[in-house]
Every structure is written in C-alpha cells, then in structure tokens.
Structure 1
Amino acid sequence: MKHSLFALTFLTGLASAGPVFARCEDVVPQLRPQNTFAQDIGRDFDTIIDEGWIEFALYENFAPWSFLKDGKPAGIDVEIGRLIAEDLGVTPRFRLVQADETLEGDLRNYVWKGAAVGGRVSDVMLHVPYDSEFACRVEQAVFTGQYAAETLAIGYSLTDYPDPDDIPTPAYFRYDTVAVENDSISDLYLASIGRGVVSDAIHRYPSSDRAVSAMVAGDTMAVMAPLAVIEAGISADETNGFAVHTPPLPGLVRSTWTVGVAVNQQHRDLGYAVDYAVEKALSDGRIPAIFAMHGLSFLPPER
C-alpha cells in the first residue's frame, strides 16, 4: 500500500531551492475549525485521564511499524503507543487505518474532522512525518512527539554483489534490476534520474515490504525502500544472503525524515503530555530498546 508520508517526503525533498522565508511567513492562514461539533474533534486530555484509555490511529499493513499479527496490532508504533499510554497512566487502544491519497487527508480523517461517511477521530495519530513548512499549512493539527527518523536505503543480494567494495548505488540500476513500491519516493526518484534510462530495470510492487520480499525471492538484485522495512524483510531470511546500506542519493535533498505524532489543535495539553512521555523514553533508552527488540536500527529524530 502506498503511504502518504512517502509522497510528502518526495515533494519536500525534491523541491528546488527558492526564496528564503521566516517559518510560516509565506503561508496563508486557514480557517480554524472552532465551530466543529464536539463529537468530531475527539476527547480532551482530562477526559482521556478520567476514562482511563487512549486511542492511537496507526497505518494498517505497514510492517514493521504497525500491522496485525495473530489478529492483534503489532509493530514498533504499537510498542511506542503502549509506552506513551503507560506514562499517562491509561490503557492503550489501537485503530489500524487506511492511508488516504495525501497526508492532509489522513490528518483530516483521523485527527481533526473524521471521514465524511461514518468517520471519527482518534486521540493521537502515530507515524506522522514532521516537516516545518507542512506544519505551517495544516493548522488544525499539532505535530509533536518526534520519536524516530526514517531514511531511504538500498538492500541487495550478496550473491549478485559479493564484492564489499562494489555494492549498488542508484547509478547501477540503469542495468541491474531493483524492486520499489509503486509510486513511492523510491520509484519516483529512480525514474527521475538519468532521464528515465533506469525505468526498464525498475520492478514495481504494491508495497515496500512486497518489494523487499521480491528481492529476497530472487526476482530482483536489489530493493530501494525505507531502511526499517528492508531490515525487517531481510532479517526474516535465514540464509543471511542479503545486506543493506544507505548510499548518497544525488539530487534528492531530503532522504531522511523525522516521524512523530499529531493531535487535534484544540488538545495541545494532550500534545504536551505525549511529547514529554516521548522525551523521557528517548532519554532513558526505552525507545531505542524497542527498535533493538525488533532487530532494527534506531535513527534519532530531530527534536
């Protein structure tokens, strides 16, 4: 499944340099949802504490971050949600949701308004990529609690690339086959370099984890996707026949991004409490330990 955070990263990362503005200086203020009905804007912090539970919205089918395992939510974001709930002294509930076409759509559906048909908001949405300019444009949500970073990487078969001094970079994919998620930042980036000369070597799949699985199955020589997805996919292979690295990506201004949480702008006190819980868990090592438990690299966020 295509996740809108990748589209956001692509748009901000490939943007050409332009005039330098102070933060939010060139952003036209949006209409604020003061008149939204109470049932549409979620629960306030006091209600969450009084009722003893908090609901997190997470992306579905998004391993290793959030997915169903034996019918129950699992993954890194689930563990981070549990950590936040524990710090607040409430019980966590998890709602796995579909990604919309854009991040704005996700925030509208799950944070500040609710879907048009049968929609409702959750208390907190996890795995929201943070971008300063984007935060200026979307005033209905507060972006906080940055807990990790993601980066694009290339996984490759050691059979196809046995020489440790000769491992694949984007230029290799003029001829060497590479798997990507369809319409992801990896797909768009590889298709944009070399004026399309690598397009025949690109094999497209419905999701990044499916792309990794294709490489592991021998359908391609390499894969380009977020690091955590590649690490999770190759760790499941018992042959240890694969490796991953993060090479320079010429022309891509932003290949690493921070992820955090979003809450309704009317519930800033909830945002403060969640951010404080995340800050403590970063400082004492509990969040890095979650990644270690899953066998994944932890990339510190920008905070």
Structure 2
Amino acid sequence: MNRVLARVSLMLLALWLPTSVLAADDDADEAVLDQLDQARERGVLEVAVYRDFPPYSYPQQGKYVGADVDLAAALARKIGLPLKVRPIMPGDDADDDLRNNIWKGHYLGGGVADVMLHVGMDPQYVARQDKADLFSPYFREAVSIAYRPGRYKNLTTPMALVGTKVGVELGSISDYYMSGAYGGRLRTSAVRLPTTQAAVQALADDEIDSVMAPRGELQGLMKMIGGLSIETRTTEFQGLFRTAWDVGIAIKAGNPKLKAAIQIALQELQTSGELKSIYAAYGVDYVAPEMASTAAASH
C-alpha cells in the first residue's frame, strides 16, 4: 500500500472508530518518550560509530578511540549523560546501517543506538529519509592522493597516475574510480588492498607510489605510522567525480528533544574550537561542512 492510500485509509478509519478508541490511541502516543528522555532513564547516551575505522573509531588497548568517539563523548558531556559506544559493522549500504542501528534494529536483536555518527549527508539521500532524521553535518571529507614527493612531476590530472602503483581499498570509491575512469586506462595502476590502513602502510614501506582515499583517513593513518618518517602530500582531483561529501548525525525520526540537544551541543563544540581540536589530536585537518546545519528535512 502506497503512502497516499495509507493516509486515506487512516482518515476513513478515524471517521469510523468510536471516540473512546481514538482517545486511547492519543494517550498511547503521548506515552512514547522522546529518545532523549529514554536515554536519561537508562542513564547513558548510546552512540553508534563504525568499527575498525581509523582515525575516526577504532579499538586501542581494549577500548574504542578516535575522532568520532571523542566527538560522541563531547556531545554526551554537553547533554549531561555518560557515553556508551556502540561499534557497528557497515551493512551493504547506508540504508542498512540506519535501519539496523537507529530506527529498527538488527533482525538478530541488540536494539538500536540513540545517535549515529559519520553518516553521509548527500542532500537527495537526506531528503528521502522518513524513518531516520539526518542533520547537523559536522565535517567535510574529500578523496585525495597521498604520495612521496618526487614520484610525480605534475599531479594535476589522474592520468599522471598511469604506470605507477596506486594503493586503494578494495571496494571503495577509489577502487571504483581507478577501475572505470578514462575508459579503464587507470585500472592496471590500482593496487587493491583490504583496508586503507594497509595501503598507507604499503606506502610507508615503499611498496607503492601513492594511495587514493578520503583525506581525513589518509591524514590520520599517516599520523598513526608517523614513526616511519614518511613525507607525503595530498592532492584533490576536482570536477572529475564526486570527490567530496559532508558527514553528519542520525537519530530515529520523531525525537525533537534529542535533536535539539545535539544541535545545541554541536554548535557549542564548533564555536569553542573543541571540534577542531578533536580532529587535530588525530592528525586530521578539520574542514567545515558545506551543507547548512539544518540540512535534514523536518519529520
């Protein structure tokens, strides 16, 4: 049943139902607590972050750390609740991630988180969400190239990569680009590795000439292996494919109190400079998002 028919059916049902039934249903709606109130009752704010995703969220000495974990802790502190981190595995697509972790839960159980970070904020994708509320973009990511100086004379076009070894994470946007751009002429230059971290390590070990990956990941990973003293530069290719995007926050739709609390907390972190400092601690240059902070449609 499509949404128009569903709305018509509900309207006809409302005309038929006795007043007492409708009143009881209204009471049930009022009894549903905003997610913020539920979090306060539990005594924690549970925030979903991606598993094994340095420098944003990754395990270290038995606990999760990273820029997104620190951001989650700062938001929870501003809201006045302890943080509970929920590391999540990415699904087949972003819709799976939102369904499994924000508005419905996985079919195997485990419930949902109150908040999810590092959600892609493509405007069209945000606008079509009806069960999740995507809002407050807080960082802008861009695909970049990290390479050793001297390996490329003039890296102003991707064609300069031909004949060199370019590390990419298997199945990533960089992998797809190297496989299909320019009629496939870059395909033989791609060195596919299981993770971006493995690609950066290969660059550090002088096994490849460069790495194509999101800028923040590259910067953070280069800091993590900084003891190897590799010198790198980054170059973004503009206008060739979608190289940049904002990341933001998701909660279950219909929770205005939680949304407002997060928006206020994030604004304070941005204004004070704490958000920028969080990224700097992991070697990432903070880049402000391009979308307005109220990008998500009202639900």
Please state which band the TM-score falls in when normalised by the shorter chain. Answer: 0.7 to 0.9
Structure 1 equivalent of residue 138 of structure 2: 147
Structure 2 equivalent of residue 228 of structure 1: 216
Contact 2:156/2:237 (CA < 8 Å) preserved in 1?
A: no
Q: SS where residue 90 of structure 2 aligns? A: coil
Structure 1 equivalent of residue 232 of structure 2: 243
> Out of 118, 141, 147, which is 2:109 matched to?
118
Structure 1 equivalent of residue 249 of structure 2: 261
> Out of 65, 80, 84, which is 2:75 matched to?
84
Structure 2 equivalent of residue 285 of structure 1: 273
Cα shift at 1:250: 4.1
Cα shift at 1:181: 0.8
Structure 2 equivalent of residue 48 of structure 1: 39
Aligned residue pair count:
267
- How many Å separate the matches in 2 of 1:269 and 1:58? 21
Matching residue's letter, 1:88: I
> Out of 215, 219, 230, which is 2:207 matched to?
219
Deviations 1:11-52 (A, max 9, x none): xxxxxxxxxxxxxxxxx88989xx9xx9xx997211222433
Structure 2 equivalent of residue 156 of structure 1: 147
Contact 1:113/1:121 (CA < 8 Å) preserved in 2?
A: yes
Contact 1:139/1:265 (CA < 8 Å) preserved in 2?
A: yes
Deviations 1:112-168 (A, max 9, x none): 00111124111001111112211122210001132111111100023634x6xx347
Structure 1 equivalent of residue 100 of structure 2: 109
Contact 1:146/1:278 (CA < 8 Å) preserved in 2?
A: no
Cα shift at 1:273: 1.1
> Out of 287, 295, 300, which is 2:283 matched to?
295
- How many Å separate the matches in 2 of 1:160 and 1:194? 21
- How many Å separate the matches in 2 of 1:53 and 1:69? 22
* Greater percentage in helix: 2
TM norm structure 1: 0.81
Q: SS where residue 218 of structure 1 aligns? A: coil
Q: SS where residue 220 of structure 1 aligns? A: coil
Matching residue's letter, 1:65: Y
Q: Root-mean-square deviation (CA), in Å?
A: 2.5
TM norm structure 2: 0.82
Identical residues among aligned pairs (%): 29
Gap regions ≥5 residues in structure 1:
1-27
Cα shift at 1:263: 0.2
Gap regions ≥5 residues in structure 2:
8-24, 293-299
- How many Å separate the matches in 2 of 1:152 and 1:181? 12
1:135 matched to 2:139? The reply is no
Cα shift at 1:53: 1.0
Cα shift at 1:268: 2.6
Distance 1:294 1:274, change over 3 A: same
Distance 1:30 1:238, change over 3 A: farther
Q: SS where residue 227 of structure 2 aligns? A: coil
Distance 1:29 1:203, change over 3 A: farther
- How many Å separate the matches in 2 of 1:229 and 1:112? 28
Distance 1:115 1:215, change over 3 A: same
